[in-house]
Structure formats: structure tokens, C-alpha cells
Amino acid sequence: MSDKNIKLETSAQNTWCPGCGNFAILAALKGVVAEMIKKGTPKEEIVLVSGIGCSSKIIDYINLNSFSSLHGRPVISAQGIKMANPKLKVIVFIGDGGCYNEGIAHLIHAAKRNTDLTVLVHNNRNFALTTSQFTATSPKGFKGKSTPQGSIEESFNPLSLMFSLRASFIARGYSMKINHLQDLIKKGAKHKGFSFIEILQPCITFFDTTDFYNQRVYEMKKGDLKSDQEIIKKIKEWDYEDNNSKIPLGIFYQRKRPVYEEELLKK
């Protein structure tokens, strides 16, 4: 099948702000999906799951089977879908608020279980759809609607959390590096087991981090990280409150582990 025959557009009106990082994530996703379909994955076996948020609108803009869950609940909803029909390729889209605030318990357990999901976190470091409140990854001092004088909480490093749970694929991309991001999504979707891809996604309207990231991000060399110590050091190179360090992008960790649904079916 040629790319021309793969119709992924929908008629939904796009309501993202012009310049939003979500456009690049959508473009990267379309590239990955078109290639998957071209290489033989039946279109109807790809399922997208989202929640509520600017990020979650992505499922309206791509013509695939999808499920829209409650805010913070896409990871657990996706697990249910995957357990009911393990042959489906299930991809989750979630904002940092939904993922690291409301839904963090689901993220932890899905990573620990190694459910075969690909989770894309659109991390714009604020609750954007509700016009900007601080989230668990907003920097300390973040001024939003709920913290007009600046947030007093420090943010945390989600990749450290994922590594402590031995999430079987851990990566970080950046929406302004679209080819690199597309490659990460492709590899994450191919990975059998839980793949976690954090995407640095500037929110042009409420928290424009574009210059901040442009000055700091760099792509890691492939296969650079061997030992746990090297991986931890690289994950902690940028610890979210640190404005002085560089920000590595790429795959930090990948390994094979028994997949939850398969183990369950053996019982």
C-alpha cells in the first residue's frame, strides 16, 4: 500500500493554538502509523487512547480507532483494552497533569507490570486545557492560575521513577526535533512491553519553553549507556529544577521482560 492510500486525516476542526508543540507530535505519529500500516499492521488493530487535555485532542485528528477516557485514566483504560484483546497495538496520549498528577498510580503499576503499551506523555509542564495550573513537573516558582505567587513545590524527574520500576523502554523526545521524535515513537511502538516516551512539548500560550529547550537539548549517541550507573547518571543529567545542565534526548533504557497480558493468559 502506498502512503497516498493511507488516509489518516479527519474532518475535526483543530483547536490547538497556532505553534503548539502538539502539532509536531501529531505529524510524527502520523509518520509512524503510516509506516506501520504500510508494513502490514492492519489499520483496525491500532488503537489510540487518550484522556482529557490539549494533548488528548490528538485522537480527534487522526483517523484510527480510539477511546477517550477520563482525565488521568488513559493508561489504565488502555490496559483494559490490551488485556481484552492482546493483539491490538495500543498507544496512549496523556498530558503531564493527567499522567503525573491524577493518573500517576496507573503509570506506576503499568510500568511495573510491563503491560504492552506505548505511552506518550505530552509534557508541557502545566495543566494547559484548563488555562494553566502547576503540575508535578512544573518548575518551582511556576506562576499559573492556581499559584499566582509561584509554586512552592519542586518538580520531579519522571524518567528516574520509570527506571526505578524497570519500565522496559524509557525515552525522551522533543516536539521541535520531529524526525528524532518520530524515530523514538517508532521504536517505542515496536518494543514489546511498556514503552514510556516523555515528550518535551512547549505550550506556546501558557508556558513557552522553546528557547529554554533549544539551548539545552542534545541527542544522545545510540547505544552509549551500558551500566545502571551510566543510565542513572544520564537520566539525572537534567533533573527538571536544574537550569544550567544540558538535556539529553533519546533512549535511556530498553530491555526484554515478561509481558503482563501474556503471563496472565498462561494462568
Ligand X SMILES: Cc1ncc(C[n+]2csc(CCOP(=O)(O)OP(=O)(O)O)c2C)c(N)n1
Interface positions with ligand SF4 (CB under 6 A):
16-17, 20, 22, 54, 124, 128, 203-206
CB of 69 to ligand X, least distance (A): 11
Identify what 17 binds: ligand X, ligand SF4, none; CB under 5 to 8 Å per kind. ligand SF4
Cβ-proximal residues to 173 (8 Å cutoff; 6+ apart), any chain = 180, 181, 184, 185, 197, 198, 199, 200, 249
129 contributes a contact to ligand X by CB under 6 A: yes
95 contributes a contact to ligand X by CB under 6 A: yes
Between 119 and 128, CB nearer to ligand SF4:
128
- Among 37, 96, 111, 183, the residue binding ligand X under the rule CB under 6 A is 96
CB of 19 to ligand SF4, least distance (A): 7
Residue 231 CB: number of other CB atoms within 10 A?
Answer: 17
198 contributes a contact to ligand X by CB under 6 A: no
**From residue 33 to residue 62, what is the string marking binding to ligand X with x (rule CB under 6 A)?**
-------------------xxxx-------
188 contributes a contact to ligand X by CB under 6 A: no
Identify what 100 binds: ligand X, ligand SF4, none; CB under 5 to 8 Å per kind. none
Cell 509481558 appears where? 259
Give me the long-range contacts of 228-236 (CB less than 8 A, separation at least 24): 231/163, 232/160, 232/163, 235/157, 235/159, 235/160, 235/163, 235/170, 236/157, 236/160
Query: What is the per-residue DSSP string for 26-48?
Result: HHHHHHHHHHHHHTT--GGGEEE
CB 197 within 8 A of CB 120: yes
CB of 23 to ligand SF4, least distance (A): 9
Of 173, 12, 195, 165, nearest to 90 by C-alpha is: 195
Interacting stretch for ligand X, rule CB under 6 A, among 23-31, 106-114, 120-128, 217-225? 120-128
Between 16 and 240, CB nearer to ligand SF4:
16
Rounded CA gap, 44 and 47, in Å?
7
For the chain, what's the residue count?
Answer: 267
Identify what 144 binds: ligand X, ligand SF4, none; CB under 5 to 8 Å per kind. none
102 contributes a contact to ligand X by CB under 6 A: yes
Residue 263 CB: number of other CB atoms within 10 A?
Answer: 11
